[in-house]
């Protein structure tokens, strides 16, 4: 059974008890459809033989920081967004992580759901939740609470099974290192100056229009964070591009632009946007010089290599019981071919399995071939041309 925690004293007791355990399982329920930042709706904890469901609408989650900062291992499943919630509400994140989604990927699971892992490794079926359930509505129903509890109920047991199989393959440290890397990813705030790169319609803009789009997109990102509202509710992508193309320098010129509605111009926004356009135009040379740099294009002669290599990676993943996305994505391959020194396939276990072999392929030292049984293999290049005709 679970305990519903709705008072400060109850939360203090939970934190004290869980902090004395060597590990604990954690999950969160949250919404962010109407906000810039995620709204915490429930925090689930499991340790030893206890499960606690903490109501963040009734208590301040700040005391959880003591547990998160402790040396205990925090077990999560696909925990990146949970870390974002915890960071916002407690000012910290767990000091040691073990992500069961990542661990499952090192055992060949390319289905990221917790339900799939529990079924495969423990033979456990958990209740199905309603994807559209309102976690912020109170009181929570018994079905909601039972579903929330099931998200952490078996996580520690699952961790034991995953770790045992990882140990047999010598991959436990891989999973620990990859879980630790999740802690280093940016959280809660995107770079406003790079926001324009996420607007598809802005990719074809040039010169003055692109500089204006960069400035407006950055302003939109900052305002969305300030008022805690989704960026597209502050100003739709189409409106950002319309402002960039038309460069309105008077308030009246904003009205009627594509994507711009009256609700977008309330609370002084109209004046802010016009002032921003004027300022950007006045400093146009500097704005163009400081524009975000797009990733360099992959040379044309290397584009066929990406398709070939990703096919080989898929085969390699099957042979080694790895999730292909965990081994290397198409973006990873392209980054390596572009000479990116920071791409993850240049380091650690990926360099041995993927990075080094790809570089040998591109340099002409290796070749991809079929082995006669329909499998792709990477082998030393013979440098002998096949006679045709």
CATH number for the domain spanning 217: value is: 1.10.150.80
Last residue of a domain, one of 260, 289, 318: 289
Residue 317's contacts (CB-CB under 8 Å, 6 or more residues apart) are 108, 323, 324, 327
Catalytic residue among 82, 84, 221, 334: 82
> CA 364 to CA 80: how far, in whole Å?
39
36 and 160, same domain (yes or no) = yes
18 and 143, same domain (yes or no) = yes
Pairing of strands 50-54, 39-47: antiparallel
266 and 239, same domain (yes or no) = yes
140 and 61, same domain (yes or no) = yes
Q: How confident is the model at residue 286 (pLDDT cuts 50, 70, 90)?
A: low
Q: Residue 285, Cβ neighbours under 10 Å: how many?
A: 8
Is 386 domain-assigned? Answer: no
Catalytic residue among 55, 84, 99, 151: 151
Is 285 domain-assigned? Answer: yes
pLDDT at site 281: 94
Please give the mean pLDDT across all residues of the chain.
93
pLDDT of residue 68 exceeding 90, the answer is: yes
162 and 196, same domain (yes or no) = no
Catalytic residue among 2, 29, 36, 221: 29
Tally of structural domains, the chain: 3
Catalytic residue among 27, 221, 270, 323: 27
148 and 218, same domain (yes or no) = no
In the residue annotation, 27 being an active-site residue is answered as yes
Domain range enclosing 20? 3-182
Q: How confident is the model at residue 289 (pLDDT cuts 50, 70, 90)?
A: low
Catalytic residue among 2, 24, 36, 147: 147
pLDDT in tens, 154-190: 999 999 999 999 999 999 999 999 999 999 888 877 8
31 forms beta bridges with: 39
What's the residue count for the chain? 389
In the residue annotation, 8 being an active-site residue is answered as no
209 and 106, same domain (yes or no) = no
In the residue annotation, 37 being an active-site residue is answered as no
pLDDT at site 102: 96
pLDDT at site 67: 98
**What is the model's pTM?**
0.88
332 and 255, same domain (yes or no) = no
In the residue annotation, 371 being an active-site residue is answered as no
């Amino acid at each position: 059974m679970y305990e519903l925690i709705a008072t400060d004293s109850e939360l203090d007791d939970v934190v004290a008890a869980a902090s004395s355990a060597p590990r604990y399982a954690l999950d969160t329920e949250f919404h962010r459809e109407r906000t810039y930042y995620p709204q915490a709706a429930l925090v689930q904890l499991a340790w030893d033989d206890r499960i606690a469901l903490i109501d963040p609408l009734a208590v301040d989650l700040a005391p959880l920081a003591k547990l998160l900062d402790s040396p205990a291992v925090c077990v999560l499943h696909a925990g990146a967004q949970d870390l974002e919630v915890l960071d916002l509400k407690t000012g910290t994140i767990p000091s040691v992580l073990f992500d069961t989604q990542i661990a499952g990927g090192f055992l060949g699971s390319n289905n990221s759901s917790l339900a799939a892992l529990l079924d495969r490794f423990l033979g456990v079926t958990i209740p199905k939740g309603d994807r559209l359930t309102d976690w912020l509505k109170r009181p929570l129903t018994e079905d909601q609470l039972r579903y929330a509890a099931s998200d952490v109920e078996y996580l520690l047991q699952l961790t034991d099974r995953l770790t045992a199989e990882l140990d047999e393959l010598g991959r436990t440290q891989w999973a620990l290192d990859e879980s630790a890397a999740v802690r280093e990813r940016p959280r809660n705030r995107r770079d406003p100056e790079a926001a324009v790169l996420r607007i598809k319609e802005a990719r074809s803009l040039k010169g003055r229009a692109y500089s204006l789009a960069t400035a407006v997109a950055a302003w939109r990102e900052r305002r969305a964070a300030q008022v805690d509202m989704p960026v597209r509710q502050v100003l739709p992508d189409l409106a950002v591009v319309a402002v960039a193309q038309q460069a309105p320098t008077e308030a009246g010129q904003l009205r009627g632009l594509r994507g711009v509605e009256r609700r977008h111009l309330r609370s002084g926004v109209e004046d802010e946007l016009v002032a921003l356009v004027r300022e950007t135009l006045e400093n146009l040379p500097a704005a163009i010089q400081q524009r975000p740099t797009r990733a360099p294009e992959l040379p044309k002669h290397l584009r066929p290599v990406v398709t070939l290599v990703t096919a080989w990676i898929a085969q390699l993943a099957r042979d080694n019981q790895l999730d292909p996305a965990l081994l290397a994505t198409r973006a990873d391959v392209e980054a390596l071919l572009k000479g990116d020194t920071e791409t993850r396939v240049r380091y650690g276990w990926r360099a041995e399995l993927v990075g080094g072999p790809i570089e040998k392929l591109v340099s002409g030292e290796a070749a991809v071939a079929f082995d006669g049984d329909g499998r792709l293999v990477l082998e030393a290049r013979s440098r002998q041309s096949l006679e045709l005709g």
